Amino acid sequence: MKELILEMEDYAQEKNVPIIEKKSIAFIMKYIKDNNVKNILEIGSAIGYSAILMASANKEAFVTTIERDEERYMECLKNVKKCGLDKRINVVLQDALDVNLREEIKYDLIFIDAAKGQYTKFFEKYKYFLKDTGAIITDNLKFHGYVGKKDEIESKNLKSLVEKIENYIDFLKDNEEFDTKFYDIGDGLSVSTWKNEK
Reply yes or no on whether the pLDDT at 42 is more than 90.
Answer: yes
Reply yes or no on whether the pLDDT at 91 is more than 60.
Answer: yes
Section 43-53 average pLDDT: 97
Section 68-90 average pLDDT: 96
Domain ranges of the chain: 2-96+105-194
**Nearest to 175, CA basis, from 114, 131, 124:** 124
Predicted local confidence at residue 197, as pLDDT: 54
The structural architecture, per CATH, of the domain 2-96+105-194 is 3-Layer(aba) Sandwich (3.40)
Q: What residues pair up with 42 in beta bridges, in sequence order?
A: 65, 111
User: Taking the model in full, what pTM does it have?
Assistant: 0.95
Give, for 135, the enclosing helix (H) or strand (E): strand 130-138
pLDDT tens digits along 101-147: 888 899 999 999 998 999 999 999 999 999 999 999 999 999 989 99
